[in-house]
Structure 1
Amino acid sequence: MKKFIVTGALHGFLAVALGAFGAHALEGVLDDYGRGVWETAVQYQMFHATALLVVGLLMSSKLLGEVKQLNLAGIFFNLGIVFFSGSLYVLAISGIKVLGAVTPIGGVLFLAGWVLIIVSAIKHAR
């Protein structure tokens, strides 16, 4: 649906902006570890921004027909970006290691979103 195309584009925009911010404004601020964490956050945000665009397009075209699973996948991808990438951005800047405990929640949400796309595709194939 339109909401996932919009949020996917927004997350893509933010991934590019935050990637540039990390490369330029945070140069000399982040150590190698922090830079690696920041880059991982940007990378996963962009991957899942693209996934949100795909979910939105699949829902719009009714290509897979299963809107319920795709809707849930889009919600999980959005939440996954917030938990996974968001916690990594804060970790990279603050150095507060306990935030790393939040990151796997986002990872599980990403995995669940991908599984829901698989389920939707399998159901449509029948």
Structure 2
Amino acid sequence: MLAKLKAILRYDSDTLAQQQSQQQITLGKAVIDNQHKSVHVDNGELEIPEKEFELLWVFAQHKNQTLNREQLFSALVGREFDGLDRTVDVRISRLRKRLEASKKCGIKIRTVWGKGYMLVSR
């Protein structure tokens, strides 16, 4: 079972690497630009620090899909999740605050209880 889980996580990491070739994703009223590490909303730019932007980019590539903490941790930190590290949770909390502060962007991170998190457009 552990080998199967590792294979799934490895597949997800490979899929994430392939999808990173895409440079812009539009969600709601927001245009997320991976090349310039920026988010534009109604001709203005939403200030998002680099680490939170990386999280947003992973979510944007998987919009409307539930991503669990292990998948996010692997994509962001590049190593296996040990169950104790709160890096993903802290980044999600900070990113949520920024997205909620800018109600114009039309996107939010929803918690899917018992499964993970999902980026949705309003």
Query: Which of the two has greater strand per residue?
Result: 2
TM-score (norm 2): 0.36
TM-score (norm 1): 0.35
Greater CA radius of gyration, 1 or 2? 1
Query: Which of the two has greater helix per residue?
Result: 1
